[in-house]
Amino acid sequence: MKLMIEVPKSVIRNPIISEVVLNTKAKLNIEKAKIDHDGGQVIVSVEDEDVERVVSAFKKWGARVKKIKHPVVMDDNACISCGACISVCPTDVFSFDDDGNIRVEEEKCIMCELCVYMCPVDALNVLE
């Protein structure tokens, strides 16, 4: 499962991710991060069996945590199956199915948003 962790300014200089990994023994894959002097936002992937422990550990640091159920969402009614998303996606989230429609493999998404910017009909959104 993917989690969005918002780290407050008051603790941004602490080794929060390291502490969570050491204390929970969970494997975290950092997929996206933006950190500056005002705080930070980190997207991580966590094994399903570790999610609740990891969420609890981050909250102890004062972080807000949101579970991301659908990292990328496609509006099937808007999509024209042009393939623009396929051409820019660095993790092969999108492909054509046997009928020529776009297939989405959400679990591969790192929420880089390249597909959102490239889509000519605004059929894609990130972070649902």
User: pLDDT tens digits, residue range 109-123?
Assistant: 988 899 999 999 999
**46 with 102, same domain?**
no
pLDDT score for 37? 86
Task: Please say if the pLDDT value at position 127 is more than 80.
Answer: no
* pTM metric for this prediction: 0.78
104: CATH = 3.30.70.20
**8 with 45, same domain?**
yes
**20 with 45, same domain?**
yes
Q: Domain count for the chain, please give it.
A: 2
Mean pLDDT of the region 35-46? 91
pLDDT score for 124? 96
Structure token pair of residue 29: 């894959």
Task: Please say if the pLDDT value at position 128 is more than 60.
Answer: no
pLDDT score for 18? 94
Expressed as residue numbers, the domain containing 58 is 2-68
**76 with 49, same domain?**
no
Q: Find the Cα–Cα–Cα–Cα dihedral 98, 108, 32, 17, rounded to 10°.
A: 170
Closest CA to 100 of 86, 116, 119: 86
